[in-house]
Amino acid sequence: MSKWNMIVDVQKCNNCYNCFVGTKDEYVDNEFKGYTAPQPLHGHEWVDMKRAEGGQYPMVEAQFRPEMCNHCDDAPCMKVAKNGAIKKRADGIVIIDPIKSKGQKEIVDACPYNAVFWNEELEIPQAWPFDAHLLDSGWEKTKLETVCPTDVFRSLKVSDQEMAKIVKEEGLKPRETSDGSNPKPRVYYKNDFVFTSVFVGGSVASQNDGIEDCVQGAAVSLFQDGKELGRAETDAFGDFKITNLSKGLGKVTVKIDHNSKNQSVDVEVDESLYIGCITI
């Protein structure tokens, strides 16, 4: 049986908010019977844009990650729902019945991803329904994909075996839950390291007759306890950035080599760090 999955490429997201606005455009003031009641204009973020910032001036960066209902195979919301208020379709999509779920606020609290919202006016829980009404009417893609200018989203309707192969080949990961559980989500993240990891950056310069010049092409390596964790090369401005490092890394050594000149600097890495200009 083929089932729907969503791949979110975090590295491609530039925070344009088209997915957020497109979802609002689709669901605010629009009822799709059998799928969802209208989404409130305010307070509900069925597609929620998260931001991670790091570094210090002049090397600062921000990464963005869209988050939504994960349509879990072992969904905690289904376990607390009464009277069949939530159903798992054969194609993997989870639907919260807008009639049967009335008054069941415990459905909101059960989601470990905080992806279910409470509609105070209608007294019902709501979440992004994978644009199921559009897929059922013949759309080959979700609305999220059609409004995204950088191809962040990619929906796939494949067997679980084929999806497991894609997950392995592309290095996909699901979001971590707030309680450490694994509800078997069907939304996967690609290149999520740009959102969850940190970097060490800096600049390299040389002194020539009292004039400081940028050093291009210097080899920069990062070591901890004798093990190399990453490397980079300075650009035309003498800048370097070593990425995909773990938060709370601790004490590391930055080694710089260029034309038989070398320099080492010990730094403490907790979050993303700019270590300043190093002269060799």
pLDDT tens-digit series, residues 235-269: 999 999 999 999 999 999 999 999 999 999 999 99
pLDDT score, position 91: 97
Whether residue 215 is found in the same domain as residue 91: no
For 110-137, what is the mean pLDDT? 98
- pTM across the whole model: 0.88
Domain boundary among the residues 194, 229, 263 is at 194
Q: Is the pLDDT of residue 209 over 80?
A: no
pLDDT score, position 166: 98
Residue 105 sits in which domain range? 3-194
Whether residue 157 is found in the same domain as residue 212: no
Contact 249, 198 (CB under 8 A): yes
Q: Which residue(s) pair with 203 in the sheet? A: 239, 277
Whether residue 184 is found in the same domain as residue 205: no
Cα–Cα distance measured from residue 105 to residue 237, given in angstroms and rounded to the nearest whole number: 55
Assign 210 a pLDDT band (cuts: 50, 70, 90).
Answer: confident
